[in-house]
Structure 1
């Protein structure tokens, strides 16, 4: 296809973007000026993985792009998933072969080219409980999984006797299985991956701005011509002009659709999924597990020094920003996982709990809807495209589809998508640095294990992270009460990664809020003081940030003792917002 005319002379190229797509306070102010001054080809609304994926896709096609997000990158569904890049083994049973094949291709791309620093192979045991039909039936499914692309960068399936399965997962009751099959998928820190996609979009010239809420739509005659946005930190508003707007707001799709005044082509239904996090020593195993339940499957997923166990699948019709886990949700997970564990888990074992909302597609009638993990994209009005549904693993395909749908509103012709060839920032040079981890550790006075941990979070950006400690070696010490993370990581989160509030750092740039029993409370003041100089916080702001974060944790803890969604939601929704001028509906 032909290249867009005059792209080199467009306003977007007036300054070279920072080499790593830095998202810091200075870049934030510059991005506001660009939102006001430029006319964009595409404005993407929503900073979840689909939104940042669409922004990266558009930017790498040579389009002028802006992305706005009301809260933080990955603040919704994209930080609360099962943290897997997987083909969706259970979708084979539903005969969704196309979805599985597509997802496996994406998993392979992430492992090998796009994000090898962030996405890692992970082994699972599929326990067998029926002697007659289950092994050949499951083996046939896994054979399809492997041949569709599942066994390229990861090993293929391996059949195990009962004794072999119990050697792999000694935590299992002996009568819980008659054998097993080991297979591989992949995992990533979803919030970190989403943020890195956003930074990569910024690296290729996109405006990426959080705490920037869409409060209205601009129109010229019958077409959408942009959005009006509010900076929810200080209340400023500005009109952002664009040839096309992409609504990538996930479970907020319908709300934004109503704000635009256009009738949607599809509806989005929110399904709540709850996960618990427990210490690694509570389940003795060398692999994760996938367990059948009466409704779906339950995953036991290795997560550094922890296990993630989940998930649930229930309708949610309450606060979309803060879905609340109930005691019933947690009991459900414990009951099902304990049915196969020799030493059962208890509530006291739980370090963290998180609840997320899946944006599932629904038909016009609730009673006849067939909810799906397929995604849908539609040009709902001239100048306005909506995309929803899908699964985290296929975010790149979804982003490309959204930009393709917007092309009719763009002047000139556009290049095809190339994001299957574009590594995320931090990927280039990662493998060489892994081999040099010992030397890097010696240079900075760190243990090699610590450096490898940093490499799996930042890739080749690790030099940028560690350079912040050049004049202050104290930053290479662990965060108080959260020893898995260094103090310099908190500083880097606000100087380069777009974090603006204490909860952004403790909940998404790190996972302190779910990996420690104190859920970040014991680290909150220390982290607030670390980031205060970068963000310009005074003592009153530090105090407020700590109070708001602690109130959030307390509301979540209390909601998790309630029996039903309504009671849990009432408690969680009462906690204060970190972003003072955020209003509903949010984008």
Structure 2
């Protein structure tokens, strides 16, 4: 029996039963090694990526392409979104932006991917289907942003402090309806926090009269980086995307637009660019292109005209230190003194507060926040905070133009926009086509940029003949934007393990560059010079050799508050089409928006590095430095502070 058992065990190692000599024998077995159920699905970190076409190569396409299918004017959220949508359907696309991607309103939002709880309230009390449709549309697109750009967008709980018992069920029911209209795309369930729980999570809030806090969930994102990522993704799909190209004339043939004349602002050279369809996606500047469209020669009017399509108003935001708000939860003030709502949100390690709503008579390319608007925000915040709110705590402030629009045909020429009737006012977006064929898309909000772009391209396909091209349906519902490929929420941990970098740097890179963070860290490891914070490189003016041989210099960025290194600057030069210091300091990184004083100290160092990479002469370098200091110096810094900072960093 034992010999039999040994034989069976050695040969089969299986459990079995058998009848031998009238006896029942059970043979046990030893299991073979189990295959692990948890098999890692992570791909290796991307450490090399071919650089995209250089700007010179993109410019050369303007000469070698007889006619583009689509020409988009404007490089904001909707413009770059339209370029990406059209390119991925199979159209040959050219996009021209007068300054830099997201240089206007698209970089000055409240940084929220949201449906709009205030629109839901209006929809219910005004029985407005249009408002409700806007909320549902935005909630669908919120989910889209979180899916297609997971590195740039994340879920953020937002609390509504409640100071009267009867308002607790009112606000809670509103939050639950917000959940309900989101349907299966709801992020997390709304809830109610007790006074004690609220005080534990947000110790900076004055809870002396607090009854409870209702909490709902929305998305938060980095708007300027999202905009640049859309432009880069469009280039990767074949689009010709160019910043610093100024459209100076709409070219017409027999009354129909067939292209534009545009000037390369770097070289001064003028280009004639022809296209089957031309799209005006210039946001608050839409009226400027419409005025050119009305001129028989396609030229701008000699005397500036009041806007007819855009209803301009200024929205100001300020940035404060991180202790003004919980680290992972925002706050909503539902009833400010003038009836608006105001947000106080954690963003990029700081607190974002805003926004105001001030009517304007004209649209400025770079609106500047007034001291009164900054004080309005601080006064609202002071109602909730347990300590005094100081003006000197403002790290940065900026003003953006709200993209509220109306049908221009309802507004007489020359009428003061602040006195015009609101007839024809559109809460959502508006697509129009003029007699010349110019298609204009405006209005809406950041959250709905993708749907606006989809509708625009669909309109183009219906209205224009693209030589019988076999075009694909819209692809942008599925396309993952650059940096979102192979990204996971634990990406910062992988970077720490691979590169032995501090957590703060790993989080900054992973949350802004996603799976392309490792490309920056490869540059970071090349030299001690690349590891320097841009602020230190600016004040010390170190050369690489001096950094290596200097004693007593802490080369770790941990000694500084902001995690922006020279490696990140070099990455932006190679992969992200920065052309000026402000492109890097304000838009590819958000240093100017997060801490204007620190950004001022970084200007000279950034200019020094960019001048070597881009071959600037002394005159160009000095102009770049002056323009950058002038731009950043108007971001909430008092004139006295700006003068001192400007003197110190010369």
TM-score tier, shorter chain, comes to 0.7 to 0.9
**Shift >6 Å, 4+ stretches:** 262-266, 558-561
Aligned to 2:107: 79
Query: Where does 1:41-440 land on structure 2 (aligned, <5 Å)?
Result: 41-95=69-123, 96-112=131-147, 114-132=148-166, 134-149=167-182, 152=185, 154-261=187-294, 267-283=309-325, 286-292=328-334, 293=336, 294-318=338-362, 320-362=364-406, 364-365=410-411, 366-369=419-422, 371-407=425-461, 408-411=463-466, 412=468, 414-431=471-488, 435=490, 437-440=492-495
Match of 1:545 among 612, 624, 630: 624
- Tell me the residue number matched to 1:9: none
Q: Distance in 2 between matches of 1:107 and 1:68?
A: 27
Q: Say if 2:396 and 2:637, in contact at 8 Å, map to a contact too.
A: no
The 8 Å contact of residues 206 and 386 in structure 2, kept in 1 or not, is answered as: yes
Q: Find out whether 1:493 has 2:572 as its counterpart.
A: yes
Q: Structure 1 pair 22/75, CA: closer, same or farther in 2 (3 Å)?
A: farther
Comparing 285-294 with 184-193, which one deviates more in the overlay? 285-294
Contact 2:286–2:310, Cα closer than 8 Å, also in 1: yes
Question: TM-score with structure 1 length normalisation?
Answer: 0.86
Q: In the alignment, what sits opposite 1:527? A: 606
Task: Classify 1:190/1:272 alpha carbon distance in 2 versus 1 (closer, same or farther; 3 Å).
Answer: same
Partner of 2:42: none
Greater relative CO (CA pairs within 8 A, separation 6+)? 1
Question: Do the aligned partners of 2:394 and 2:636 also contact (CA within 8 Å) in 1?
Answer: no
C-alpha displacement of 1:480: 2.2
Structure 1: unaligned runs, 5 residues or longer: 1-18, 562-570, 576-587
Q: Report the equivalent of 1:468.
A: 523
254 and 166 in structure 1: CA distance in 2 versus 1, 3 angstrom threshold: same
Is the CA contact (8 Å cut-off) linking 1:68 and 1:212 kept in structure 2?
yes
Gaps of 5+ in 2: 1-47, 124-130, 297-305, 412-418, 537-560
Greater shift, 227-236 or 71-80, is seen at 227-236
- 2 CA distance for matches of 1:330 and 1:476? 35
Partner of 1:359, secondary structure, is coil
CA drift of 1:392 comes to 0.6
Contact 1:20–1:200 (Cα < 8 Å) also in 2 = no
Question: What's the counterpart of residue 507 of structure 1?
Answer: 586
Q: Paired residue for 1:581?
A: none
Of structures 1 and 2, the larger Rg is shown by 2
Pick which of 546-555 and 489-498 moved more: 546-555
Counterparts of 1:314 and 1:45, CA distance in 2: 27
Cross-structure match for 2:15: none
Give the SS at the match of 2:372: helix
Contact 1:79 1:190 in 2 (8 A): yes
- 1:555-574 matches, within 5 Å, as 555-557=634-636
Aligned 8 A contact 1:108 1:149 in 2: no
CA distance in 2, matches of 1:70, 1:151: 41
Counterpart CA distance in 2 for 1:284 and 1:105 is 27
